[in-house]
Structures are given as structure tokens and as C-alpha cells.
């Protein structure tokens, strides 16, 4: 089944404790992206990747890191999480970085205490 998977789905952590949210797709998509969704602010792009080893900042990259060593994986790293990073995070992928449909993972609900 073609899909985007994220782990963990739910996470409660404390300020400053490094964490990684994994994202994997099995559709051989070139383009991958991370969004966060917050009430009143909608969905905002954090980082994106047009292909392996190519990543770039989105609208809200502060406090996040990403890497794209393999085509299928695009982990989101929070080196020192803070409470303002409490959010619902989505990973998405598409064939290419132009106008193709982006398919979303199931989301990760992160709470930073």
C-alpha cells in the first residue's frame, strides 16, 4: 500500500530533550516536506526537500533540523525542544516539487512540557 508513515504518532516530552520524528514514504517520491499545524495559524511549512541531499527552509524553520540521506526518509529533528514547538506535525511527499499532489502522513502530536 502506497503511504507516508510517521513515528511516533504521539509524544510528550520535556524542554531540552532532543527528539526525532521519523517520516518514510514508499512511493519513490522525490519531494518531501514537513508542516506544523497550530490553531489559528493553519498549516505552515517547516522544511522541504526536492531530492536526496537537497533540503531547504520553509516558513518556520527555527528550532528544527532535517536530513535527506535516502529518498524514502526525511526525519525531523528537534535538538532542544521548547513549549512553543507543541503542535501537530505532518510529513508529506509528492512525485516532484512542482504541482504534483502532496500526500500526507498521519500526523504526530507533540507536546513539550
Partner 1 sequence: AQKITQTQPGMFVQEKEAVTLDCTYDTSDQSYGLFWYKQPSSGEMIFLIYQGSYDEQNATEGRYSLNFQKARKSANLVISASQLGDSAMYFCAMREGNTGKLIFGQGTTLQVKP
CA angle 8, 27, 48 (to 5 degrees): 65
* Residue 101 near partner 1 by CB under 8 A: yes
Nearby residues of 85 by Cβ (< 8 Å), 6 or more positions away:
63, 78, 110, 112
* Stretch in the footprint of partner 1 (CB under 8 A) among 15-23, 60-68, 76-84, 97-105: 97-105
One DSSP character per residue, 43-64 reads EEEEEEEEETTEEEE-S--TT-
For residues 33-92, which are near partner 1 according to CB under 8 A? Answer: 33, 35, 42-43, 45, 48, 50, 56, 58-59, 88, 90, 92
Return residues touching partner 1 (CB under 8 A): 31, 33, 35, 42-43, 45, 48, 50, 56, 58-59, 88, 90, 92, 94, 96-104, 106-107, 109
Amino acid at each position: 500500500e502506497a503511504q507516508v508513515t510517521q513515528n511516533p504518532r504521539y509524544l510528550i516530552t520535556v524542554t531540552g530533550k532532543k527528539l526525532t520524528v521519523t517520516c518514510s514514504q514508499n512511493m519513490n517520491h522525490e519531494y518531501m516536506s514537513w508542516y506544523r499545524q497550530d490553531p489559528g495559524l493553519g498549516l505552515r511549512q517547516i522544511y522541504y526537500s526536492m531530492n536526496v541531499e537537497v533540503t531547504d527552509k520553509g516558513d518556520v524553520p527555527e528550532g528544527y533540523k532535517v536530513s535527506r540521506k535516502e529518498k524514502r526518509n526525511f526525519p525531523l529533528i528537534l535538538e532542544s525542544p521548547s513549549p512553543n514547538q507543541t503542535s501537530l506535525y505532518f510529513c508529506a511527499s509528492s512525485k516532484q516539487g512542482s504541482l504534483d499532489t502532496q500526500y500526507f502522513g498521519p500526523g504526530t502530536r507533540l507536546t513539550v512540557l
